[in-house]
Amino acid sequence: NPGRKINVILGGGRREFMPYNVPDPETGVGGKRRDGKNLIDTWKKSKVGEKAEYVWNKNQFDKINATETDYLLGLFSYDHLDYVMDMDDTKDPTLPEMAKKAIEILSKNPKGYFLFIEGGRIDHAHHSTKAQKALVETIAMDSAVQTCSDLTDASDTLILVTADHAHVMTIAGYPQRGNPILGFAGISDVDDMPYTTLSYANGPGYKHPDDNGDRYDMTNDNLENAEYTQMTSVPLL
């Protein structure tokens, strides 16, 4: 019931709103719901007579006139939204773009508003020990915060930025100033092999030692690959 009063909902996860026998407009795959409910249709019906719009791609999103819209539901992916490094920004809006549209709609309320924004894929990338993707997602979140700051007045707006939990990513010592954050920190004086600036205590990036027990040699690894998984101390899925 509280959800019916939310003015702006933007993100991914269309499959959670659709029945299994209703094909997704983008992928053609059926939804995940087994209760027969189509929550997208339910939302539309609940907004009959209101200035409400449902969109699922950037073209539709860009056409939304905030001054003429009081309710907006945007579901831009069948599953989670793509990582920034994987997304096609001609098909899906970015986090800063969604933040901007939300503020344009919500700021019409003379009583003010509460807006919650999550950079949820930062967490996903860290769980996968894909540091580059996690950092790029963090930059997108930072841009969204800047967008909010630019569109609001500090005299009557409180912006809080926080994390609900941390991860086990570590910055090693002692990389020189200016050293690429995704690169090698140096050569170990114990085994004469390189180690990266960023690593994780646990995760799927664990690299098994050689048969002779020596530490995995990362010398020829492509550290710039977006899918590269940083070294971890303990294997964990």
CATH of the domain at 136: 3.40.720.10
* Alpha carbons 79 and 58: distance in angstroms, whole number: 16
Kindly state whether residues 40 and 92 are assigned to the same domain: yes
Residue 99 tokens read as 């933040």
* Alpha carbons 87 and 89: distance in angstroms, whole number: 6
Say if CB 163 and CB 118 are below 8 A apart. Answer: no
Kindly state whether residues 174 and 58 are assigned to the same domain: no
Kindly state whether residues 126 and 197 are assigned to the same domain: no
Handedness of CA 209, 215, 219, 225 (dihedral sign): positive
Kindly state whether residues 194 and 129 are assigned to the same domain: no
- Among 151, 179, 195, the domain-final residue is 151
pLDDT of residue 150: 98
Say if CB 201 and CB 234 are below 8 A apart. Answer: yes
Tell me how crowded residue 138 is: count the other CB atoms within 10 A of its CB. 16
Q: Which residues are annotated as a binding site for Zn(2+)?
A: 123, 127, 164-165
Residue-wise pLDDT for 88-114, tens only, equals 999 999 999 999 999 999 999 999 999
**Residue 126: is it exposed, middle or buried by C-beta count within 10 angstroms (0-12/13-18/19+)?**
buried
Kindly state whether residues 30 and 92 are assigned to the same domain: yes
pLDDT of residue 105: 99
**Residue 23: is it exposed, middle or buried by C-beta count within 10 angstroms (0-12/13-18/19+)?**
exposed
Confirm whether 159 is domain-assigned. Answer: no
Residue-wise pLDDT for 151-197, tens only, equals 999 999 999 999 988 899 999 978 888 999 999 999 999 999 999 99
- Among 116, 151, 186, the domain-final residue is 151
Q: Which residues are annotated as a binding site?
A: 118, 123, 127, 164-165
**Domain hosting residue 192, numbered range:** 168-237
* Alpha carbons 92 and 64: distance in angstroms, whole number: 14
- Cis check for the bond before 174: say yes or no (omega within 30 of 0): yes
Structurally, how many domains does the chain consist of?
A: 2
Confirm whether 158 is domain-assigned. Answer: no
Arithmetic mean of pLDDT, 206-218:
92
CA dihedral 177, 181, 183, 187 (to 10 degrees): 50
Beta bridge mates, 55: 74
- Among 124, 151, 178, the domain-final residue is 151
The pTM of the full predicted model, rounded to 2 decimals, is 0.93
Q: Which residues are annotated as a binding site for Mg(2+)?
A: 118
Kindly state whether residues 236 and 133 are assigned to the same domain: no
Kindly state whether residues 177 and 232 are assigned to the same domain: yes
Confirm whether 235 is domain-assigned. Answer: yes
Q: If we measure between CA atoms, which residue out of 34, 42, 43 comes closest to residue 16?
A: 34
